[in-house]
């Protein structure tokens, strides 16, 4: 399994563990395995914790590629106007989830000499990107919302703070902060760095260049046109697959599980050639069927308080890309079945 496919699966996996999971019954206990990855840390799921209050959740995994932190993305409609939009459209970095993402990174990285890989889907991809830039770590962002401009604003704050903190202007210098207006540079920088768990005597050097970064998404997904040049991302199977926003709609094309499924197909194509793309001839039948509630129920998927049956079915199919280690409910063949026999299964059996 390629590194990027595993990271896409782990990004999806964060939605199914901890508090408010999509799929019920998946543990986040330390030592729990998902494929060949092993959970080594995770944030609190206690109802009265700062993490739950902020809608934040993340998991650290030990993998064959090194230690990975995966940040959960948006899992509530309330997060869109309260967290996603301020970061993506207002270039705001003064958000509890941004602070907590860096604090969790500090916890996981303590005593670790090798680089950590940071990943996540949607908002989680932005948290991974922002935190990775702060700490100069490798990033794999899955359909991230725009985070580049917010990071540049944060860098501007820190640059200005370092410039004036030991000068007579420290008490009067001001900087504009999205959502707050003009504030005292030194005071606000100290508050922000403290909230992020960054030692004022050991502030990291912030770079503007995205190095060791991968961004991937499906063409036409809802965050695609809202990403700036500072948050690059490349469509999966670009040029070989129809515009997914047109096939399933922009919101469904943003799905973490669908992204995993198509990333699996891309890896198969790179390994085997054009024969792995036979499923593209039934794109307009296959992919909408993955969001069909009736088909999901016929397949045995059952809705949970946080996910519809079709969400459960898609996640199960995506998890089946795991081909070794601890498999999801014991199966690693569902994606093969969808790819090779999808036309017969979906068109002849389930679709009108």
Out of 21-30, 50-59, 260-269, 339-348, which region has the weakest mean confidence (pLDDT)?
A: 339-348
Whole-angstrom CA distances from 112 to 62, 104, 312, 329 are 12, 13, 35, 32
* For residue 251, pLDDT beyond 90: yes
What is the reported pLDDT for 48? 96
How much is the pLDDT for 86? 87
* Confidence band for 329, pLDDT divided at 50, 70 and 90: low
Give tens-digit pLDDT for 297-322: 988 889 999 999 999 999 999 998 88
Cα–Cα distances (Å) from 125 to 8, 84, 148, 340, in that order, read 10, 11, 11, 31
Pairwise pLDDT comparison (150 vs 275), residue with the higher score: 150
| pTM for the model | 0.93
Average pLDDT over residues 269-278: 85
- Please, which pLDDT band fits residue 239 given cuts at 50, 70 and 90? confident
User: What mean pLDDT value characterizes the chain?
Assistant: 90
pLDDT at residue 326 in the model: 66
> Looking at residue 82, what is its pLDDT?
78
Give pLDDT, residue 260. 96
Assess contact for 247 and 262: CB atoms under 8 A: no
Residues 6+ apart with CB under 8 A from 187: none
Domain limits, the chain: 3-350
Q: What are 145-157's pLDDT values in tens digits?
A: 999 999 999 999 9
pLDDT at 328: 62
User: Rounded to an integer, what is the distance from CA 32 to the centroid of its chain?
Assistant: 20
The pLDDT of 251-266, averaged and rounded, is 95
Sign of torsion over alpha carbons 96, 131, 93, 306: negative
Q: Does residue 335 register a pLDDT over 60?
A: no
Specify the range with the lowest mean pLDDT, choosing from 188-202, 283-297, 326-340.
Answer: 326-340
Ranking 37-41, 73-77, 86-90, 212-216 by mean pLDDT, the lowest is 73-77
Give the residue among 107, 90, 33, 43 at the shortest CA–CA distance from 64: 33
pLDDT, residue 341, reads 38
- Check residue 349 and give its pLDDT: 40
User: What is the pLDDT averaged over residues 129-155?
Assistant: 97
């Amino acid at each position: 399994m390629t590194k990027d496919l595993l990271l896409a699966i782990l990004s999806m996996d964060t939605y199914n563990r901890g508090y408010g999971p999509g799929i019920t019954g998946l543990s986040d206990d330390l030592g729990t395995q998902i494929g060949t990855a092993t959970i080594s840390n995770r944030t609190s799921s206690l109802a009265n914790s700062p993490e739950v209050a902020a809608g934040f959740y993340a998991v650290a995994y030990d993998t064959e590629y090194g230690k990975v932190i995966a940040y959960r993305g948006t899992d509530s409609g309330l997060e869109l106007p309260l967290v996603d939009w301020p970061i993506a459209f207002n270039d705001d970095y003064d958000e509890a989830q941004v602070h907590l993402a860096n604090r969790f990174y500090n916890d996981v990285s303590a005593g670790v000499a090798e680089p950590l890989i940071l990943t996540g889907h949607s908002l989680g991809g932005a948290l991974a990107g922002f935190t990775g830039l702060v700490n100069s770590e490798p990033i794999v962002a899955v359909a991230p919302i725009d985070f580049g401009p917010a990071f540049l604003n944060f860098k501007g704050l820190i640059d200005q703070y370092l410039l004036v903190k030991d000068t007579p202007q420290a008490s009067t210098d001001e900087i504009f902060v999205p959502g707050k207006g003009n504030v005292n540079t030194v005071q606000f920088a100290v508050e922000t760095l403290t909230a992020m768990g960054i030692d004022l005597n050991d502030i990291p050097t912030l770079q503007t260049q995205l190095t060791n970064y991968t961004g991937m998404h499906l063409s036409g997904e809802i965050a695609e046109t809202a990403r700036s040049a500072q948050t690059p991302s490349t469509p999966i199977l670009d040029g070989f697959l129809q515009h997914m926003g047109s096939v399933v709609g922009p919101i469904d094309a943003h799905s973490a599980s669908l992204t995993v499924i198509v990333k699996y197909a891309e890896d198969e194509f790179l390994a085997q050639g054009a024969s792995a793309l036979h499923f593209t001839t039934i794109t307009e039948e296959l992919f909408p069927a993955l969001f069909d509630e009736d088909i999901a129920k016929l397949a045995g998927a059952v809705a949970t308080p946080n996910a519809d049956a079709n969400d459960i079915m898609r996640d199960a199919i995506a998890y089946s890309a795991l081909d070794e280690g601890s498999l999801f409910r014991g199966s690693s063949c569902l994606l093969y079945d969808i790819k090779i026999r999808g036309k017969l299964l979906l068109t002849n059996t389930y679709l009108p």
